[in-house]
Structure 1
Amino acid sequence: MNKTFLALGSVFAGLGVVLGAFGAHGLKKYVGPETITTYQTGVQYQMYHAFALIIVGILFDRFHNGLLGWAGWCFLVGILLFSGSLYALSALKAKEVVGVSGIGIITPFGGLFFIAGWILLVLALLRR
């Protein structure tokens, strides 16, 4: 499983660079500064948690237990829900879709998965 988390972390970090570059250069043509900030928050948290996935992958051989695996999956789900919902919200605003605020309800659930991932990571490291 360590290779899985290492690969996922690397893929999401690489995507974070691509998405960040698009947000910094291409998205400005379509949306206002507030939406750019929302989008950049998604990129920022994606990058943090891509590195968290890589850390989980590195630690997996040394602290092999189920909690560490759960931490990695929580980080992955958090990226998909938190960052994914912010990207979707930004894309819908760029397309001027009416009533896009409802998608924002997904974002806090992604944040809860991030928090759970960090708690599980700590518990996994403390468990012997």
Structure 2
Amino acid sequence: MMIVFTQVIGALYGMLAVLFGAFGAHALKKIFSEEQLKSFETGVKYQMYHAIVLLVVGFNFDFSSGIERYVVYCFSIGTLLFSFSIYGLCLSAAKNKKIKILGPITPLGGLFLVIGWGLLLFSFLD
């Protein structure tokens, strides 16, 4: 069950990263400032990186240990919080209605990603 979850989330995040990347490169290019476009692209890059990692993990872990599940949870939640809060901040700022509550969510997502990488490292050393 965990293997399928990991692979589905990885594939979903990968697909959405391609769609959001194309959307940013074409449609949003006209309404975003250069800084907003760079921020949006950062969200897309991190989303794609972690989509790939989730797929690799999904094909290589057997999820016999709790730490392997926590890696997936951290990457899944971290990507959602990090990348999607950036998307929301950029889109709302472009409409001059910046949703300020999203600001603190981005570093929280980043923290989940860092913890996920730390747990992944620990799983290799264990």
Per-residue deviation, 1:103:
2.2
Asked if residue 65 in structure 1 is aligned to residue 70 in structure 2, the reply is no
Per-residue deviation, 1:27:
0.3
Count how many residue pairs are aligned between Structure 1 and Structure 2.
125
Residues 51-104 of structure 1: per-residue CA shift (max 9 Å, x gap): 11112211222x63110110011001111110011000011012211x544422
The runs of at least 4 consecutive aligned structure 1 residues that moved more than 3 Å come to: 99-102
Contact residue 88 and residue 99 of structure 2 kept, 8 A: no
Asked if residue 83 in structure 1 is aligned to residue 88 in structure 2, the reply is no
In structure 2, the partner of 1:110 is: 109
**Alpha-carbon distance between aligned partners in 1 of 2:99 and 2:3, rounded to the nearest angstrom:** 37
What TM-score does the superposition give when structure 1 sets the normalisation length? 0.91
1:119 maps to a residue whose letter is G
SS at match of 2:104: helix
In structure 2, the partner of 1:3 is: 4
Q: Which runs of 5+ in 2 are unaligned?
A: none
% identical equivalent positions = 44
Q: How does 1:87-106 map to 2 (within 5 A)?
A: 87-97=87-97, 99-106=98-105
**Alpha-carbon distance between aligned partners in 2 of 1:65 and 1:58, rounded to the nearest angstrom:** 15
2:107 maps to a residue whose letter is P
**Alpha-carbon distance between aligned partners in 2 of 1:119 and 1:56, rounded to the nearest angstrom:** 14
In structure 2, the partner of 1:39 is: 40
Q: Which runs of 5+ in 1 are unaligned?
A: none
**Alpha-carbon distance between aligned partners in 2 of 1:56 and 1:67, rounded to the nearest angstrom:** 12
Per-residue deviation, 1:125:
2.3
In structure 2, the partner of 1:119 is: 118
**Alpha-carbon distance between aligned partners in 1 of 2:28 and 2:38, rounded to the nearest angstrom:** 11
Provide the alpha-carbon RMSD of the alignment: 1.3
1:108 maps to a residue whose letter is P
**Alpha-carbon distance between aligned partners in 2 of 1:19 and 1:44, rounded to the nearest angstrom:** 10
In structure 2, the partner of 1:26 is: 27
